[in-house]
Amino acid sequence: MIESVSRRAFSSSSGTYNVRASELARERKLNIFNVTVQFLDDTQQSFQIEKKAKGSVLLEQVYQHLELVEKDYFGLQFTENGSPPNATNSEITRWLDSTKSVKKQVGANAQFWLAVRFYPPEPSRLAEEYTRYLLCLQLRKLLLDGRMNAPKNTALLLASFTVQAELGDYNVSEHPPNYLSELCLLPKQNAEDERRIRELHKLHKGQSPADAEANFLEHAKRLDCYGVESHPAKDYNGKDIFIGVTSIGIVVFQNNIRVNTFSWSKIVKISFKKKQFFIQLKREPSESYDTVLGFNMRSSRAAKALWRCSVERHGFFRLRAPRRRALLAALGALAGLAAPTVPRTETMALEDARRSRSTNRSFVRRSSSRPRDRSVGMSPASGMRGSRVTAHCEPAPRPAWGDLDRPSSDIIEGDFLERVLRIPLSYVDESESGSEGAESAECGGVKIRLEAGSDGLFGFNVRGGGAAPVLVSRVASRTRLQLQEGDQVISINGTDVDELTHEQVVQLIRNTRGVLTLVVKPNAVYAPEDPGAEEPEACFVPLFSEGDSRPEGDALEQSILLLGDGLASGNALKQYETLLRRLPDEPTNISKLPCNLNKNRYRDIAPYDSTRVILKNGPTGDYINASYINMEIPNSDTVLTYIATQGPLSTTVGDFWQMVWESESSLIVMLTVLTERGRAKCHQYWPKVGTTPLKATNDLTIFTNSEQNHGHYIRREMTIKESGGGSRSVCQLQYTAWPDHGVPDDAAAFISFTQLCSQLRNRRPMIPTVVEPEEGEEERELDPPMVVHCSAGVGRTGALVLCEVALALAARGQPLYPLDLVRAMRAQRPMCIQNASQYKFVCESIQTAYTQGLTKASSENGSN
């Protein structure tokens, strides 16, 4: 009865209350952890995660918010004090660990910054345009806050690409003279910088934002500090250095100059103990011991951070799949500190991109270098993440500069180079093209059909040929749906390309009318240890034949412009690397005779038999490790003559002075110190001032009359006396500002030193040279040679020869092509200019001399 009344009483108004559900909701609310993430375009977004959530949860939320596909290259940074990451607080900046609790890592400072963690060695391999855009934003921030250094010319060029991407084509009516003053493009930006950026901006006409960003990345990736996470340290001498970790290995910087590189393939083990970081190198076949290099870090925490960074980058860039953690790693001290692992590798990321063949989605670009409310040419909705602009139909990437006199629609890639500078191009011109779908082909390849565009071009470049595989090197935007950088071309229109040279491959493509049929083998994995023999995109040394005319206009200025563009793009150094270090058909048999082997300081550096210096009265025979180098200046009677030789050994001092006497030289240029890093580079072949004269041979005695230290060089005046009564004054200039590794810091000082050498070489010797011409031969008397040596007689020696010849050409208004000069030098002595850093330094010195008007001073003081 009571039950029925109860039901009737409450039937009209009833309710329930879930106590447990409310308690759970309260608990969840209490466990929520709010974090803020600042993105690369300076916008911010708040995220909510559970307090016990791991870093992977937050990372996934961020990636989903950005709709970021190629997320493996990115990460979240935080600092111990909550301040933004910059150049001054790198020691307290950390990466969010995806395997650990977010709350435990950051504490109360729940502020994160999205950043690029792993820099792709080849940005063009990124499948998404949006990923490349974020990479550009990151690099611009690094350049602005000083965490990444670039030469001034390169920095200006990068800034001009930024302007093109954000403002579009230069327009006189839209862009007043001071339109760059509101933009923050360079640290310590001034009016002269803005003027030069404006001139470069004018040259980028026709480049879409995607094109400008692609060119930005092509230049930025060649910087020594690209993708380097630097850690301050000290070497064994206590000098301040920076140890950087990159995709290729571990690099060492001193005074912002890369002084050493240890590639992953040469490293056996990396470890740390307390404040020291160690690198164990692979033992060479000729060595009986392991080489272990140690570096002193600022603290044990800094050593561990460098070790961890090295392990992660090696795992990401070098492994095909993440390394599995050892089972004993959990035992801690018994198993040692467990090495960190990466969840995915670059190989996996690239293979995913290859399989997806994703198209470029639409998005809006947002300026990171100026106030957003003053952005020019951007829609009001540009601040919204969801408001995007598609960029599918942009033209192919354009060169950094071109012929402005012609309409942009009439200019194609490389046309300016080929028409004005008469440079034969060794690549397929780029353009947009229509295409049909790709279908499966035999031999594991993919068959692709491309239709020519309106200009008859197919929209991709190739490199290789001959002994090297034919690879796709660059691809226009629309063609990326079918082709990607790194694809190997198996056949063209049914013709196998295995036995074809690069020129034949290019010609086969150019001769195709209508549809081009390719069979390609996808090859998404970037292998830096085996890049292949890459053909240069444009030959920066004109291949003139007899009777050809030089380029019209100011040939010298055009050659300097061409050189500057080659240095900025990296093509100049690429082409340098393709030069033969020695001529295969020039024997060096005399240097290998048993009686001459001990006269060589280095076993792999020897003179050609055809150009070696032959001693007439050598104390130990007619051989010395020295070569004649004659460099003719076109359109003049001048021939700059040199003897390039190694630094004398203690057993070859007599041979050296006999060579100086017989060659009648009055100038010796020394480009090394006696000892570097505890290793002898040259024996002291002269006596000190006021000491006993040096008895070099039975007939020659050497006196040092004076010695003056001029800072970056030392000048010594000497006298050679012969037992027969003859004597000669000799000047020795010793350049001391070239560091043990790397190149000099002051290009202007090296230029002035080279000009001093040019002035002193013109002095005539006391004993004239009389050469009887053969019958029918025009009489010609060459000046006595300048004797130049460093340690091996090829690297720094070649740098000085190249610099003097280039200055002589510029002083006479002749175009100069350094690559051509190096080729001429190596035809007379192998391996002249040993590495790319020396070549780059000389080229930049030449640019400096030309822009500062130093070549005119050289003409007034030293030309004859």
Active site (catalytic) residues: 790
The alpha helices in 168-292, defined as continuous H runs, are 191-202, 209-220
SS (H, E, C) 76-87: EEEECCCCCCCC
Listed in sequence order, the residues at least 6 apart from 488 whose beta carbon sits closer than 8 Å to its beta carbon are 469, 470, 471, 472, 520, 521, 523
Tokens (6 digits) for 618: 């050598």
* Residue from 672, 611, 619 nearest 642 by CA: 611
Rounded distance between C-alpha atoms, residue 678 and residue 312, angstroms? 35
DSSP 367-408: -SSS-GGG-SS--GGGGSTT--B--TTPPPPPPSS--TTS-G
φ/ψ region of 240 (left if φ > 0, alpha if ψ in -120 to 50, else beta) reads beta
Rounded distance between C-alpha atoms, residue 704 and residue 850, angstroms? 37
Listed in sequence order, the residues at least 6 apart from 468 whose beta carbon sits closer than 8 Å to its beta carbon are 532, 533
Rounded distance between C-alpha atoms, residue 667 and residue 786, angstroms? 6
* Residue from 417, 222, 354, 824 nearest 583 by CA: 824
What three-state secondary structure class fits 233? Answer: strand
List 628's β-bridge partners, or say none. 643
* Residue from 242, 85, 215 nearest 149 by CA: 242
The alpha helices in 221-371, defined as continuous H runs, are 300-318, 346-356
* Order of strands across the sheet that contains 786-789: 612-614, 623-632, 639-645, 786-789, 667-670, 727-735, 713-722, 700-709, 694-695
- Outline where DSSP puts E strands in 560-618: 612-614
> How far lies 722's CA from each of 187, 618, 686, 697, 701, in Å?
61, 14, 16, 9, 7
Rounded distance between C-alpha atoms, residue 308 and residue 341, angstroms? 9
589 near 633, Cβ under 8 Å?
Answer: no
Using CB atoms within 10 A of its CB, is residue 619 exposed (0-12), middle (13-18) or buried (19+)? Answer: middle
Other Cβ atoms closer than 10 A to 387: 13
Query: 516-528 as b/e, with b when 16 or more CB fall inside 10 Å?
Result: bbbbbbbbbebeb
Cα radius of gyration (the chain) = 33
463 near 502, Cβ under 8 Å?
Answer: yes
DSSP 446-480: EEEEEE--TTS--SEEEEEETTEEEEEEEE-TGGG
577 near 592, Cβ under 8 Å?
Answer: no
473 near 505, Cβ under 8 Å?
Answer: no
Phi, psi of 861 (to 5 degrees): -95, -35
β-pairing, 786-789 vs 639-645, is parallel
Phi, psi of 715 (to 5 degrees): -115, 125
Kindly compute the dihedral angle of the four CA atoms of residues 614, 619, 625, 628, in this order, to the nearest 10 degrees: -30
Q: Which residue has the tokens 């004054």?
A: 729
Tokens (6 digits) for 669: 């240029």
For the chain, helix (H) and strand (E) counts, in that order, are 20, 30
